[in-house]
Structure 1
Amino acid sequence: MAELRVVEICAGAGGQALGLERAGFEHELAVELDSNAVKTLRHNRKDWKVEEGDVADPKVWRPEDHRGKTDLLAGGVPCPPFTIAGKQLGATDERDLFAWAVRQVRIIQPKALMLENVRGLSANRFAAYRQHVLDELRRYDYVASWRLLQASDFGVPQLRPRFVLVALQREFAPYFTWPEPLEGPPPTVGETLKDLMASNGWEGADAWAEGAASIAPTIVGGSKKHGGADLGPSRAKAAWEKLGVDGWGVENAPPEPGWTPPPGKPGPKLTCEMVARIQGWNEGDWHFTGGKTTQYRQIGNAFPPPVAEAVGRSIHRALSKEGEKVDLVETTEVIHDPVYKLLHGAPRPVGMDQIITKLQKAGVELTEPEVEQHLAHLERDFVIERAKRSSGAYAYTLGEFRAFVGQEGHERHERFAVNKSRIS
């Protein structure tokens, strides 16, 4: 397989990087904010150019230096702006770099773009945000689509949905198809970890593995705002308990001969090596630097390498123009937010009655309360201008996108500087 060149932003500790490498991409640059993850990247791939710092800071790297030289721009931009467990601030979150990353396509002009994030970005709350991203990429003459991928479909023994955006230059887009799930069920936690559980001489590993007969809940890496390593919130810990795992922490080593669970505990704790295995790393793939908590965060926040490899191979085939052409995504375009789409193309303010009537003509039936809900979501990521008419009703105009896309005076810079030590 011919190697293609990739620039990876928000690279983390290397889950996506390893997957893309296996898919035939050579890293010309990886950029990451977290110093511990940077050390891990440099330790594992000493020949890679790895830059540490805010990916949006021109003193860290210059996207224009890679213009026309890059086959793929990829990244796992921060998840907190979209996660269901957070406030879902989206475009107004100082950690939001999704829109900024999309804007870099215009500068770098890669043949393809791949960005992954949490499932929350697929929710109705962000329908207009997604629509705006597609509109922006279309302006740059890229064909784009979103897909919710389950890590367990690609051999990862974990319930880990990831929302992925892929965009390709029009020349290559007809050759892209999303990867198909592997045949058969994924391995269970017991099958995946039995050898590691037994590696320190514990006689109970076989019996434990038989009880751990399903896939794991989502590994939660956490952030610098929280304490030490554990396996997630109460719901996740309860799921781990059913698998015979103590989720209240991460252990330094596997159980020793004669080990028995402490009173009230369901079984052993996992080690960082075990967590890495559940994330899709195999023994010897990768070494994580730093202490236990640091390693756990790096592993838990990663994009599973097998999923990145599967998507990467699909992109590689498209860029190599392998296989038969397929219909462009645009021929069956999905409208994520019909209210955004209507206002985005309106030459003048549009009233509520007009919105409902125009949507009906387009085959979309929304009630006034439903349109109001769309507008409420819209206003969190866009400026909505309201003009009061003589009848007392309002007409709406879609204003600017609130997200940071590289503006020098954007409030993101100040908030980012204040919170930098807690951002991960």
Structure 2
Amino acid sequence: MGSRGDYTVVEVCAGAGGQSLGLHKAGFRHQLAVEIDETAAQTLEQNLRVPVALGDAASRRVWDPRDYVGTTLLAGGVPCPPFSVAGKQLGSSDERDLFAWTIEQVSIIRPRAIMLENVRGLSSMRFAAYRQRVLDRLDAEGYVGEWKLLYAADFGVPQLRPRFVLVAMSAEDHSHFHWPDRTTSERLTVGEALHSQMASAGWRHADEWRSLANGVGPTLVGGSKKHGGADLGPTRAKQAWAELFVDGRGVANQPPGSDAPSATELMPRLTIEMAARIQGWLPEDEWAFAGRKTSQYRQIGNAFPPPVAEAVGASIVSALGHKAARRSDLPGTVGLQDPVYKALASSTRPLSLGELLTAQQEDSLAAVERKLAAIKHDFELDVSQDEDGTMRYKLGAFKGFTGQHDHSRHAFVAENRHRVS
């Protein structure tokens, strides 16, 4: 079935290599990494020395998926803003959304497995229909898809950082796939993780600070090229860091010196190296980030923590090798994310609210109406009325970008090439 090192990966929206590093540690070898940000691409090239295609992942001028038919794994960390609760949650209406497009490449590449990660917002009710469409498209291509919310803190990363991960394989391979268990019995605190770095310039209060920073950090926020700089995020994030005696208003050039006061008097700031450690990079990785400080911090803050990627990657390798026990909890059919969308997508005729209520299996018209409102964000929804006043609904086209030549996304990316992240 294959051994460690036999497995290849094509990774889109690779960023600075958090997922790349984790997958390498799990036993994957890159055939290609695709990244739109020039500085992040430099980071990938100088650390992993893998083939990197620079530019928009959806452009055939950048790479051609047909050249990578049969790669073991199609992976990626497609842009988060379309689903982030910190943004407008535009989903398919956000020109940066590449989730649906990536799913369409499965029919071309025919990988043995797919692994895509995004923010927790994608797991919300707002995107239930979007998730259902993803699973239905995978099913049509012969893959069983499964979603899971994972917390980086469960894998030795000193920040909570919830990530919503999709893994898909053939039914036979997927029957051996098990989501990774947490790798540590106790979560690593910020103080324990950064103590040696905080003490490296002789700061005599480093031991005291380690005791004060006795907790898991909030999610590190990298920001975008349009918003965000070299600080630890919006006001709420800065407040959470302050509770761990870290000044989140900026990033330091070096750790506190020997004459720096106690953290109770003046809280220290993280350096780039410390931010990388918070994100899961280890000193022994010897990972160097290209670019200036703001770019380096953005690369780190937007990354998928390497230990989480390694854990999921190792579970995929185990499944592909049929080394894990066969699961008994898989129904062998498409997972149900949104029964209202499913009913609409399966019907050739318009459905009434009563019929959708039956599909929903809940005695709440309000719940059905909320789902219809959410569906309308990502799909055309035709509404008609019978002579007796009965309202009927019929699902129309998906609004998202799946590779259409005339989609508005092309103009957006062309006009905002240096601001898209």
Q: How does 1:51-66 map to 2 (within 5 A)?
A: 51-66=53-68
- 1:227 offset after TM fit, Å? 4.7
* Equivalent residue, structure 1, for 2:32: 29
Number of matched residues? Answer: 417
- 1:417 offset after TM fit, Å? 2.1
* Equivalent residue, structure 1, for 2:255: 254
* Equivalent residue, structure 2, for 1:267: 267
Tell me the distance in 1 between the aligned counterparts of 2:342 and 2:259.
64
* Equivalent residue, structure 2, for 1:49: 51
- 1:326 offset after TM fit, Å? 1.4
* Equivalent residue, structure 1, for 2:403: 406
Tell me the distance in 1 between the aligned counterparts of 2:260 and 2:266.
13
* Equivalent residue, structure 1, for 2:280: 280
- 1:395 offset after TM fit, Å? 0.8
- 1:333 offset after TM fit, Å? 5.5
Secondary structure at the aligned position of 2:340 is classed as helix
Tell me the distance in 1 between the aligned counterparts of 2:328 and 2:398.
31
- 1:176 offset after TM fit, Å? 0.7
Tell me the distance in 1 between the aligned counterparts of 2:102 and 2:46.
26
- 1:418 offset after TM fit, Å? 2.4
What are the Cα deviations for residues 265-284 of structure 1, in whole angstroms up to 9, with x where unaligned? 65100001001001110114
What are the Cα deviations for residues 135-164 of structure 1, in whole angstroms up to 9, with x where unaligned? 000000001100000001111110100000
Q: How does 1:132-143 map to 2 (within 5 A)?
A: 132-143=133-144
Tell me the distance in 2 between the aligned counterparts of 1:341 and 1:314.
30
What are the Cα deviations for residues 261-312 of structure 1, in whole angstroms up to 9, with x where unaligned? 69x9651000010010011101141111111111000001000000000000
Tell me the distance in 2 between the aligned counterparts of 1:370 and 1:391.
23
Backbone CA RMSD of aligned residues? 1.5
Instruction: For 2:47, give the aligned amino acid.
Output: N
Instruction: For 2:119, give the aligned amino acid.
Output: V
1:319 and 2:320 aligned: yes
Secondary structure at the aligned position of 1:330 is classed as coil
Tell me the distance in 1 between the aligned counterparts of 2:229 and 2:34.
25
| More deviation, 121-130/177-186 | 177-186
Match of 2:386 among 384, 389, 413: 389
Secondary structure at the aligned position of 2:418 is classed as helix
Distance 1:265 1:395, change over 3 A: farther
Instruction: For 2:341, give the aligned amino acid.
Output: Y
Instruction: For 2:94, give the aligned amino acid.
Output: D
| More deviation, 175-184/102-111 | 175-184
Tell me the distance in 1 between the aligned counterparts of 2:413 and 2:366.
36
Secondary structure at the aligned position of 1:21 is classed as helix
Instruction: For 2:205, give the aligned amino acid.
Output: G
Distance 1:168 1:85, change over 3 A: same
| More deviation, 384-393/190-199 | 384-393
Q: Which runs of 5+ in 1 are unaligned?
A: none
| More deviation, 252-261/157-166 | 252-261
Tell me the distance in 2 between the aligned counterparts of 1:261 and 1:222.
30
Secondary structure at the aligned position of 1:175 is classed as coil
- 1:228 offset after TM fit, Å? 2.6
- 1:45 offset after TM fit, Å? 2.1
1:205 and 2:198 aligned: no
Match of 1:5 among 4, 8, 12: 8
Tell me the distance in 2 between the aligned counterparts of 1:366 and 1:90.
28
- 1:331 offset after TM fit, Å? 4.1
Tell me the distance in 2 between the aligned counterparts of 1:366 and 1:50.
52
1:369 and 2:366 aligned: yes
Q: TM-score, normalised by structure 1?
A: 0.95
1:177 and 2:144 aligned: no
Tell me the distance in 2 between the aligned counterparts of 1:154 and 1:266.
31
Distance 1:151 1:81, change over 3 A: same
